[in-house]
Amino acid sequence: MIIERPILRLKPKADARSIRHGYPWIHADDVVADRRTRAIAPGTIATLEDAERAPLGAVAVNMEARIVGRMLDRDPEAQIGAEWIATRLSRAAELRDRLYDAPFYRLVHAEADGLPGVIVDRFGDAAVIQPNAAWAEERIEDFADGFAALGIAHLLLNATGRARAGEGLDAETRWLRGGVAAPVPVPMNGATYLADLTGGQKTGLFYDQRPNHAFVAGLARGAHVLDVFAHVGGFGLAALAGGAASALAVDGSAPALDLAERGAAASGVAERFATRRGDAFDVMAALADEGATFDVVVADPPAFAPAKPALTAGLRAYEKVARTAAPLVAPGGYLTLCSCSHAADLAKFRMACLRGIGRAGRVPQLIHTGFAGPDHPVHPHLGESGYLKALTFRLLA
C-alpha cells in the first residue's frame, strides 16, 4: 500500500549517512524549506528523503521547531496510527515488566523507546504522559487507548514541560482518563514515596535515580545522612530503609517536604527523619556554621545546564554545590553529587565537582559513577537521552 504523504527533503550538505545509521532528529538547517514544506502543519507525518530523493523513513514534522523532523519509523510506508502506537507502548511495557516486579517505572523514554518527544511515568494503574512533540499531541487519544489496553485506568496529561514551548504547544494539565485525587504511594528500594501526580514536579517522582538511591543506601548503613535538594525524600528515605541512623532532607518546597515526611511515616522511619526548608546553599552554609557534619551527603540539584547556552554558568553552579557540600562530610565520609543536565557531559561535570571539592580543601577518592536506571534506556545516537550522572566520592581528608 502506497501512502501519499508530504515530503521533507534533506539539503545536499546534510548528513544523510548519520540518519541512515540511526540519528533520529532532522534539524531546520538540514532541510529544503520551500513554500510547500513550510506549509506542512505541525504534527504531520511526512516521508523523509535524501537530496537524491531516496526515502529514509516516516518522520513527524514541525517546521516551527528547531527539530523540524523526528524519525518515527525507518519504513517510509509505515502507518502511524493507533495500532502503531499501541505496539510501541506494548513493547516498552514488556521491557519494564521484565525489569521490575511492580508497575512503578518510566514506561516511555522518548526517542529511546521509539516514541520521539514522549515521556510517560507509570504509577500502578495510573500514568502521567508528557507529549513534548506536536505529533504526539495530535494523537493523544490514540495514546490514551493504548494505555488502557495495558491496564492503566487513570492517565494524566502533563503538558507543562519546557520542551513544549519550543514545539509551539500550549501548557495544560488534565485527566485524559479517570483521575486520582490523593498522592500515590510508590514502593522503591524498600521505602515508600508519595507522588503528587497533579501538583508535584515533572510527573511527581524521579524514577531515574533508583539505582543511585540503592547504591547510597548501601553506603549509609548506620550513618547520618544529609539529603540536599531532596524533593519528596529521594536519597534520604532509601538510606533510612537501608539502615541509616538518621536523615535530614533539605528542599525549598514545603509541599515536597510534606510528602517526604508522609513518605517517612509510611516507610516506618519517621523517628529517624527530619526536614529543613530553605535555599539549599543557604542551608548548607548554616549547617557549616553550626559545625554539623554527616557521614553521607547527597546533593541532587535541578538541571543547572539544561542547554548549551547555560553550560558555563551551570558548571559554575555544580562547582559551587560541591564546594559548599564537601565541608559537611565527616572525614572518611561520602559525598554524592548529581547532574541531570544533558549539556554538561560526564567529563565536564566530574571536573566541576573535583574543582569544588578541591577548593573546599578536601581530598577525594572517586568510588562510583552512576547513571539512570534501565527503565531510562539510552538512544545510542542521541546523547541527550543519557542525561543523568551521579558521582560518589569518599573524602579521605
pLDDT along the chain (397 residues), means of 10: 84 95 96 94 96 97 95 96 98 98 97 97 96 95 97 93 80 92 95 92 88 98 98 97 98 96 98 98 98 98 89 96 98 97 94 98 98 97 93 96
Which neighbouring-strand residues pair with 184? 195
Grid coordinates representing 133 are 512533540
* pTM metric for this prediction: 0.94
252 class by beta-carbon count within 10 Å (0-12 exposed, 13-18 middle, 19+ buried): middle
Query: Topology of 184-395 in CATH?
Result: Rossmann fold (3.40.50)
Give, as one character, the DSSP assignment of residue 10: B
CATH of domain 7-73: 2.30.130.10
Q: Can you say whether the dihedral through the CA atoms of 256, 298, 360, 285 is positive or negative?
A: positive
Q: Domain-by-domain residue ranges, the chain?
A: 7-73, 82-177, 184-395
C-alpha torsion angle, residues 202, 206, 207, 211 (rounded to 10): 160
- Phi and psi of 58, rounded to 5°? -95, 125
- What pLDDT is stored for residue 98 in this prediction? 97
Same fold, 7-73 and 184-395: no
- Report the pLDDT value the prediction gives residue 166, as an integer from 0 to 100: 78
Query: Annotated catalytic sites, by residue?
Result: 340
Cα separations (Å) of 167 from 58, 256, 317? 19, 29, 28
**Whats the size of the chain, residue-wise?**
397
Contact 249, 230 (CB under 8 A): yes
CATH class of 82-177: alpha beta
Q: Count the alpha carbons within 13 Å of 386 in the hemisphere toward its beta carbon.
A: 12
Tell me how far the alpha carbon of residue 365 is from its chain's centroid. Answer: 27
pLDDT reported for residue 384: 87
Taking CA atoms, 52 is separated from 12, 14, 15, 56, in Å, by 8, 12, 13, 11
Q: What is the pLDDT of residue 369?
A: 98
The grid cell for 321 is: 554545590
Contact present, 341 and 387 (Cβ < 8 Å) = yes
